[in-house]
Copies of this chain bind each other. A is one copy, B any other.
Amino acid sequence: MDITAVNALPYEDFVNIFGNVVEKCPIITAAVWSRRPFVSLNALEAAISEFIDDLPESGKEGILRCHPDLAGRDLHSGTLTRESREEQARAGMDALSSGEASRMSRLNEEYKTRFGFPFVICARMNDKANILRQLTERCGNERAVERERGIEEVKKICRLRLQGLVLCDAPNKL
């Protein structure tokens, strides 16, 4: 799909295709449709980033709270979105040892209790050991730092999901 095809999509198709580039936040995709035409995939990604940046702090926390825990109950109950399931599996989150699983669970709870939103990291850019290390370290940060850090990770996830959707059938088109 090239950017001309993306720009020609009616909003319903646009939201159906790109609605989960930010996890469970189709409103963001639906909002940036107002800013088409996009000159490139990067321009679409930039429009999403700007929309996120303009949200109040509570809105950014809202985005984070729409994310599942890594190796959490949604993974175990099969209720992850397709995108999250693939990303978590690629990072080995569905194949933790019992020791790793209990450590992850304990740290996730500690993080959520401290910050009121979940630990968000771009799983596709990290392996299991790295995720556990960063979760441990980030539990010690300040809330405002973690809110911004989580949003940075949301944007990385968004970029990879966008690229996967647009470039998969035409790697050199955009």
**Interface on A for B, CB 8 Å cutoff?**
10-12, 15, 24-35, 51, 54-59, 61-66, 112, 116-117
User: Cβ of B117 and Cβ of A62 under 8 Å apart?
Assistant: no
Q: List 29 A-B contacts (CB under 8 A).
A: A10-B112, A11-B65, A11-B112, A15-B66, A24-B26, A25-B27, A26-B66, A27-B63, A28-B62, A29-B62, A30-B63, A30-B64, A30-B66, A31-B55, A31-B56, A31-B59, A31-B62, A31-B65, A32-B58, A33-B61, A33-B65, A33-B116, A34-B57, A34-B61, A34-B62, A34-B116, A35-B58, A51-B59, A54-B56
Number of copies: 2
Decide yes or no: A62 and B116 within 8 Å by CB, A54-B56, A56-B54 being known contacts. Answer: no
A61 touches B24 (CB 8 A): no
- Which residues in B have their C-beta under 8 angstroms from that of A33? 61-62, 65, 116
Which one of B11, B54, B59 lies within 8 Å of A27 (CB-CB)?
B59
* Residue numbers in B under 8 Å from A56 (CB-CB): 31, 51, 54
Q: A49: shortest Cβ distance to chain B, in Å?
A: 14
Given contacts A34-B58, A58-B34, contact A15 B65 (CB under 8 A): yes
Cβ contacts under 8 Å, A28 to chain B = 27, 62
Measured CB to CB, the nearest residue on chain B to A59 is: B31
Bound Cα distance A61, B25 (Å): 14
Nearest-CB residue, chain B, relative to A31: B62
Complex-state Cα separation, A26 to B56, whole angstroms: 16
